[in-house]
Structure 1
Amino acid sequence: MGTFLALLIERPVSLYAAAVLRIGYGLLYLVFLLREFPHRDEIWGPGSPWTPALARQLFDETGWASILTLSDSRTYFEACYAAALVTSALFMLGWRTRAVSVLFAVVVASFHARAIFMTDGGDNLILLMSVYLAFTACGRRWSLDARRQTDPAATGTRPRFHDVRRPAVTVLHNCAMSVIAVQVCFLYGSAGLYKVQGGSWGSGTALHYVLNLELFRPWPALSLILDEHALVIAVAGYLTVLLQVAFPFVLFGRLKYPVLTMLLGLHAGIAVFLGLPLFSGVMIVADAVFLPDRFYRSAARLWPRAVRPPGFGKTRAPARRESALVPTQPGPTG
């Protein structure tokens, strides 16, 4: 118990993983908003079939809220959309992250609520993650904030309350990162157990039916080629269920790395064969929370100096050894 409390209070865990979540979700939402820019009015704006008045009626019943329904003005909507683009970009870059992370959560929740009937699992998860990240110190690494903190000209005498605030920030960060990890475990575990109950997954034919749904066939010819190999389809289906059910139980063993690698391949396949790149991206970024900080430091050293993240390699003093959210095991980085 004492060790757990010390881990919770003494230092923030998985700072690099938190930075990856910030960069990943900020980038994904920015790309999402840019991709839907030509259709923004039909989805979220005053010209949507689901009008702001209808949305407000639903909010009165459900308790949701959205800044997009505060006015029916098109000018107001365009200003909100521009602000959402800027907020996503600043969150990704880690500028004034403490405040911008809250704004990012408000943006994601507002757009999610405004088009609630057009959301899917990926939208639900990025909404949860945006709220969780608002409680983390996700701007401590690979951010403009980190670069500013390592600039001697920008670091003056810290206010006295800083020493009092830091333990509270550390506890909030560690709790939020733990909640993120538990959320992902529940997501995989429940998805796997739900599939086990289905007859098509038990017979190995579930992916056959999925590949033949017109709604999820961005490349019909490619889907047909894969569908011709019944054995491959069956093995992929069984492996999917096995990975999802086993995921929460392998995090403290050496199987963590191969399982994460196979899940990466699974999500890549979903993006290509089912045409769900946003959902796959959201899941891949979520999986990043389970990789230790030493993995990210090693990966960053391999990058060309010109494209290294802001704040990397500019410490003024030797950094203390950072704790990982999940105890690390010998893996691909040693």
Structure 2
Amino acid sequence: MVFPSNLPRAWAVLRRPFVLDLRALALLRMGLGAVLLLDLGIRGTDLEAHYANLGVLPLAALHDRLWTPYQFSLHAASGMWQVQALLFGVAAAAALALALGYRTRLATVASWVLLVSLQNRNPLIGQGGDDLLRMLLFWGMFLPWGRVWACDARAAPPPARYDYASAATVAYVVQLALLYWCTALLKSGPEWTRAGTALYYAFSLDQLLLPGGRLLYPYPGLLRGLTFATWYTELLLPFALFIPFGVRWWRLLVVGVLLGFHLGISVTLYVGLFFIINMVSVLGLLPPLALDWLTPRLAPHAARARRWRARLPAWPVPWQLRLEQVRPVAPGWRALARAGRAGVVLGALVYVCWWNLDDVAGPRRRWLPEPARWLGYLLRVDQHWGMFAPEVFKDDGWYVLEGTTTTGRVLDLNRGGRPVAYAKPAAIVALFKNDRWRKYSENYLFIDHAWMRGYYCNYLLRRWHLDPAHPPLRHLAVVYMKEVSQPNYRVPPARREVLCDCEPAP
């Protein structure tokens, strides 16, 4: 067979959108390591509440209500908070090693396994950013993001060139595009596509509203324009990632717009680590133009780091766990291994695209049959990008944890035991310890999750009575003061709903 003479040139053009800079991949690695440490630090303040049998989701309830036979979780091996603390420590060590680029491949695999394990332990506090974090680590297992700006790079010669392309870079770029495409396509409600009222309703949710959103909220025309700008940005911007001409300029456009987009979200809506994860996710797209400007500005800090006398110990690793290259490999075997790895990555990417197509199509038209979904649950490449989709959630309100003492006083446990008051707080966001609790309280409302209400009520009673300074309670009611968002800035009176009530165990 004779191939056209211009085929190599055409292939070189087609691969341009998937060529990444090794320095950008290193920044992506360091950013993800830092995010993992931050996530562990926030989650670690609720070891007992969210991950132990004495908390809001005991293991028996997890396995009975939220488990599939294909999941795995080291964190579900024990209901003791001390075991959770040990696993958190191991995960923090792996995340730190990832950020430093120390035994990078092993640190990436360990971080991914422990993150999947942690997320499987309590799905009730997860959000869209967790899916993205998990997928970035999954594709990162196949990326050479420890080749530069890493501890591992000190023992290797510098790369001859920084540009790099492989099946894993294709997967990374496509994954980012899928995130925004599916987010837009799932927002099929008229308030996104026709009326332009989606951000009005989003900013009507006091559980999410931050000062930046409060400033924009009184201007309906501005909110309408921002709604359409958001939807079209998510739908159209990813196409710029696949334009094979002027790649560096399109990359700068995508990175700049997305950084500004998520920075805007961070000052208007309370979304936890979602905006940080998304901002870090685009670091791997930085073109050489930006990195050539950044590198000399980082050089002084790198020089100071090289002058440190402290060195990470050369811990021995059993050969079964040594994922880095340790001895020369024959060229034939190296090519075979590279082809096998590319096949695995491309197979996983096809499956991920299949999963997202099925998610966008909805339950009426299943593209991915149920018997084929086990792999997604096992590897946790399952994903859903339905943020504020198909329409914005309208149920809003605040919680009153109404505790009645043995002497008849009624206190609000949500406000440190002060006398109960049903008036709307000045800042509902301030009632949540962190975004994990906010997400838990959101799931707490759904009738499908009514089974979880008793566990939360009992947890609150037990925690209250651990403090001898607290007056004993004879009854606790979890009350939701419900406000349903209305058009045209109408605010209906809050309606008191008792979601759960319980008494202390004798």
Quote the offset at 1:92 in angstroms.
1.1
Aligned to 2:274: 279
Query: 2-side partners of 1:106 and 1:293: how far apart?
Result: 32
Q: Which amino acid aligns with 2:85?
A: E
Q: Does 1:112 align with 2:104?
A: no
Which whole-Å CA distance do the structure 2 matches of 1:198 and 1:309 have between them? 54
Q: CA deviation at 1:286?
A: 1.8
The one-letter amino acid paired with 1:245 is L
Residue from 221, 225, 229 that aligns with 1:239: 229
Give the Cα–Cα distance (whole angstroms) in 1 for the partners of residues 62 and 140 of structure 2. 27
Query: So what's the TM-score if we normalise by structure 2?
Result: 0.52
Paired with 2:204 and 2:106, the residues of 1 have a C-alpha distance of: 46
Distance change in 2, residues 1:274/1:102 (3 Å): same
Distance 1:259 1:60 in 2: 38
2:47/2:85 contact within 8 Å kept: no
Residue 223 (structure 1) aligned to one of 213, 219, 230: 213
Structure 2 matches for 1:287-298, cutoff 5 A?
287-298=282-293
Partner of 1:198: 189
CA distance in 2, matches of 1:257, 1:13: 13
Query: Once the 2 structures are TM-superposed, how far is the Cα of residue 5 of structure 1 from its aligned partner?
Result: 8.8
Contact 1:87 1:104 in 2 (8 A): yes
Q: Which amino acid aligns with 1:268?
A: L
In structure 1, what is the Cα distance between the partners aligned to 2:297 and 2:167? 31
- 1:129-157, CA deviations, whole angstroms, 9 ceiling, x for partnerless residues? 11111111111121111134359xxxxxx
> Tell me, what secondary structure is at the counterpart of 1:234?
helix
Distance 1:141 1:58 in 2: 45
Determine the C-alpha separation between the residues in 1 that align with 2:14 and 2:254. Answer: 26
2:21 aligned with 1:21:
no
- The corresponding residue for 1:178 is 170
1:121 Cα deviation from its structure 2 partner:
0.5
Task: List gaps (5 residues or longer) in structure 2.
Answer: 1-6, 307-506
% identical equivalent positions: 24
User: Residue 309 and residue 36 in structure 1: after superposition, are their counterparts in 2 closer, same or farther (change >3 A)?
Assistant: farther
**What is the RMSD of the two structures over their aligned residues, measured on CA atoms?**
2.9
Q: Which structure ranks higher in relative contact order (CA pairs < 8 Å, sequence separation ≥ 6)?
A: 1
Normalised to the residue count of structure 1, the TM-score between the two structures is 0.77
Q: Deviations over 1:107-146 (max 9, x none)?
A: 1101111111211110011111111111111111211111
Tell me if 1:268 matches 2:263: yes
- Alignment map for 1:106-145 (pairs within 5 Å): 106-145=113-152
- For the 8 Å contact 1:147–1:310, the answer to whether it is kept is no
**Distance in 2 of aligned mates of 1:16 and 1:46:** 44
More helix by share: 1
1:213 to 195, 200, 205: 205
- Preserved CA contact (<8 Å) 1:143 1:310: no
The one-character-per-residue Cα deviations of 1:157-197 (angstroms, maximum 9, x if unpaired) are xxxxxxxxxxxxx99x72122111101111111222333x2
Q: 2:89 aligns with which of 62, 82, 92?
A: 82
Shift in CA distance, 96/265, structure 1 to aligned 2, threshold 3 Å: same
Name stretches of at least 5 consecutive residues in structure 1 with no aligned partner. 152-169, 312-334
Residues 207 and 59 of structure 1, relative CA distance in 2, 3 Å threshold: closer
Question: 1:65: Cα distance to partner?
Answer: 0.6
Question: Would the aligned equivalents of 1:144 and 1:310 in 2 still touch at CA under 8 Å?
Answer: no
Q: Within 5 Å, which residues of 2 pair with 1:3-82?
A: 4=11, 13-57=20-64, 61-82=68-89
Maintained 8 Å contact 1:132/1:180: yes
- Shift of residue 274, structure 1, vs aligned partner: 0.6
CA distance in 1, matches of 2:14, 2:216: 48
Matches of 2:13 and 2:216 in 1, distance apart? 51
Q: Match for residue 302 of structure 1?
A: 297
- One-letter code aligned to 1:207: L
1:259–1:306 Cα change, 3 Å: closer
Change (3 A) 1:293 1:56: farther
Q: Secondary structure at the match of 1:214?
A: coil
8 Å contact kept, 1:300–1:308: no
2:149 maps to a residue whose letter is W
Larger Rg: 1 or 2?
Answer: 2
CA distance in structure 2 between the aligned counterparts of 1:191 and 1:309, rounded to whole angstroms: 43
Alpha-carbon offset, residue 273 of structure 1: 1.0
- Deviation of 1:226 after TM superposition, in Å, equals 1.0
**Residue-pair matches, total:** 287
Amino acid at match of 1:248: P
Quote the Cα distance in structure 1 between the aligned partners of 2:224 and 2:183.
18
